[in-house]
Chains A and B, each alone.
With several copies, the nearest count.
Chain A
């Protein structure tokens, strides 16, 4: 398609009028004089030195006494209001990972690195090379609390935020996924949260032109008032476009690109707005951020052009902690300093004060570090796309072998003068107390294997129908229909397939498969095992498409880290994932932690959500999940791969039919998962597979039903002899043993396929045939 990329009439210079105000360096912005007059004089470094003893509201800002003392020690004086705001944000759990850091180290230390890994943990997102010239980057992040407060905007900005992370690595965002968890399906508030969240994810992603290729929808009362809205984004980049966040090169210009800065999400620091802290501060400022997907779309296109023309030295998205985070992280990463003229930041509201500007979470902004001679080209590109670009500062050198300082002025007053690393890297780190929850032993003893089970054919039939119609297992098309899956024209598989598959190279057919999974009931029963089960499930979902899993990301949603029980769950889950990835030989490329998902003393179930990425050399070889119309009048043979054990604890069946949660979760054998993946990939490559679908929630019954419904093709299943006695048919149908999948093989190839399984030691059973067509019924005998 050479003409398409080469013929670009209407390049800049041809009078592209900015559609969004002015794109220019704004040394003297109109209105700034006015601001100085109307604003109370800011708290400056000078004043901080003069009023050393002034009391400050550090506790209200979430800083402990000892944390506040450390700030004073670092600065050798009391912090200014702006500095205090910055430390309170950067040293928050969300930004500093202070409770999780010591645990997360295992990911970097214990899981395999690989030559493929171009960027790993600590970057905005991990980057994995998948061909000589292409790399992919992917990451999942949470936007839980904002989505409970304001579901539409919370979820929308969740998508916006993760997309910018991916963009910051140099990649074009090419797909999103949305693992979602809500309270009980029939709770009135669930209707508010769910409809808003889904509309927000769709509203933002659809207008952005990024396809949604999968996700999760889970209902559980533990998420009442604490819904989990996680968002994953996948990006693709030519390897030479990989970007750094380091603000290298003293003299380089710091450019803010994108939306104006408003009072979004500054509720937390609003206490600083009043000059005296003893008066009751009205918490009137918004803690919600509103998204503008249109501006984000322009930001994407502008950044990609900037990468293409190699105009930036460093780039960082503005996310949770806004400018504070972007300025301090980019400088800290380079060991440089930075000089920022804060009054140059384009504002939505002229009355904003320095600490508000520094902590604003306004969306759709990026921070660029640009060599002076390339500044004009950057501004030109911004103008072409109609986004604001403003030079707000300059990189300054390290002095006397010491890292540089971040100095921020406001109309000539110095309001910030700090070592950037003290904000970005030297936050507090806690080894918080951990203790296994006292009730766990009792919960584990209360096994679901002892619950009454259906036995007669009639009871089994009823159970299948009841399970299929239950909130967690029922069809989710009414949600996924609200998402554009087609845009970009490379979506090969999307919901309800096991994994999303996206072609990333139209010439060679190279593609990637992605799945996100978590099972918090399993994690509640055993967080170590539950985390490994989530990993196994995501791995398996990728594998059944025929892809080779190569990398993992995660989003760890937990209650309060100050609760030793929660902290123990967290540590166990991390250990489980680190062990699991080490065993599977895949690196952890990044992740995200969300703590404090709890109301009062009751935390959500520990919910590690795992995303696994796989590679398909040619997406034409992908294996879909649904039964296809058979190749032969007798139907195509259906195999069940893997072993079925009596594993009902934590299962969907126990929950739906008995509201029961107890016992120990299914065993995990990651070696078996690898074997299953290898057999499926090999069989797919030689055309032995017509369909493959993994078994997870709801067991065999659910998977067979899903495979039937995909294309309206029926099936006749015959239980193996060893599962016909007593309630064993029930066990066969509803057990949630891991490491299993059902596959269909073209008639005539079943012997060859069985031989391969036997040879590689993968347990298999021929369990039935697809129906020759018309009836579309499922029969189990």
Chain B
């Protein structure tokens, strides 16, 4: 079963107070060499049934993102397919 991941980030020119607050807090954790932090949303969408064509799922996710997940006025998004689980194993925490 495939999963689609949508990453939604504020457009670069839009103020990101969350990212700023995190960046400003890092020195307290002893971390001094971070130049920027941006905080966005990650949305995982799983479709029913294995039969569905992945490209079709992508297109579907694109529509969902357009209408529901991202606010085009202030946000950009990207979409990709991720085999369930695969995405999250790079550096398991």
Q: Is B74 among interface residues, defined by CB-CB distance under 8 A?
A: yes
Q: Which of B13, B24, B74 is close to A153, meaning CB atoms less than 8 Å apart?
A: B74
Q: Is the CB of A21 within 8 A of B15?
A: no
Residues in B with CB closer than 8 Å to A291 are 15
A288 near B17: Cβ-Cβ < 8 Å = no
For the complex, give the distance between the alpha carbons of A286 and B20 in Å: 19
Contact B25–A19 (Cβ < 8 Å): yes
A262 touching B15 in the complex, CB below 8 Å, given contacts A19-B24, A20-B24, A294-B21: yes
Q: Interface size (A, Cβ < 8 Å)?
A: 25
A488 close to B (CB within 8 Å) = no
Which residues from B are CB-within-8-Å of A149?
Answer: 73
A345 to chain B, nearest CB (A): 15
Q: Which residue of A lies closest to B16 (CB)?
A: A290
Q: B71: which A residues are within 8 A, CB to CB?
A: 150
A153 CB contacts on chain B under 8 angstroms: 74
Query: Of B10, B21, B24, B73, which contacts A21 at CB under 8 A?
Result: B24
Contact with B along A295-323 (1 / 0, CB 8 A): 10000000000000000000000000000
Residues of chain B with a CB closer than 8 A to A20's CB: 20, 24
Residues of the B chain whose Cβ atoms lie less than 8 Å from the Cβ of A295: 17
Q: Taking A286-B14, A286-B74 as given, write out 4 further A-B residue pairs in contact, using a Cβ cutoff of 8 Å, ordered by the A residue number.
A: A19-B25, A150-B71, A262-B14, A294-B21
Q: Give A567 Cβ to nearest chain B Cβ, in Å.
A: 32
- B41 at interface (Cβ–Cβ under 8 A)? no
Per-position contact with B for A257-292: 1 when CB-CB < 8 Å, else 0? 001001110000000000000000000011011111
A289–B15 Cα gap in the complex (Å)? Answer: 8
A interface with B by C-beta (< 8 Å) = 17, 19-21, 149-150, 153, 259, 262-264, 285-286, 288-292, 294-295, 348-349, 362-363, 386
Contact B11 A286 (CB under 8 A): yes
Segment 11-41 of B: residues with Cβ below 8 Å from A: 11-15, 17, 20-21, 24-25, 27-28
User: Shortest Cβ distance from A47 into chain B, in angstroms?
Assistant: 27
9 A-B pairs (CB sep. < 8 Å): A20-B20, A262-B14, A290-B17, A292-B17, A294-B17, A349-B12, A349-B13, A362-B15, A386-B24
**How many angstroms between the C-alpha atoms of A150 and B24 in the bound complex?**
23
- Residues in chain B within 8 A of chain A (CB atoms): 10-15, 17, 20-21, 24-25, 27-28, 71, 73-74
- Within 8 Å CB of B14, what residues of A? 262, 264, 286, 288, 290
Q: Lowest 8 CB-CB distances: which A-B pairs, in order?
A: A292-B17, A290-B15, A150-B73, A263-B13, A19-B24, A290-B14, A20-B24, A286-B13
> In the assembled complex, how far is the CB of residue A237 from the closest CB belonging to chain B, in whole angstroms?
28
Distance of A286 Cα from B13 Cα, bound (Å):
8
Q: Nearest-CB distance from B20 to chain A (Å)?
A: 8
A551 to chain B, nearest CB (A): 35
The complex places the Cα of A294 from the Cα of B11 at a distance, in Å, of 20
Residues of A within 8 A of B24 (CB): 19-21, 386
| Residues of chain A lying within 8 A (CB to CB) of residue B20 | 20, 292
Q: What is the CA–CA distance of A20 and B17 in the complex, to the nearest angstrom?
A: 11
Q: Known contacts A150-B73, A153-B74, A288-B74; decide if A262 and B21 are in contact (CB<8 Å).
A: no
Residue of B nearest to A263 (CB): B13
A20→B25 CA distance, assembly (Å): 9
Chain A residues, CB < 8 A from B13: 262-263, 285-286, 348-349
Contacts of B25 in A (CB 8 A): 19
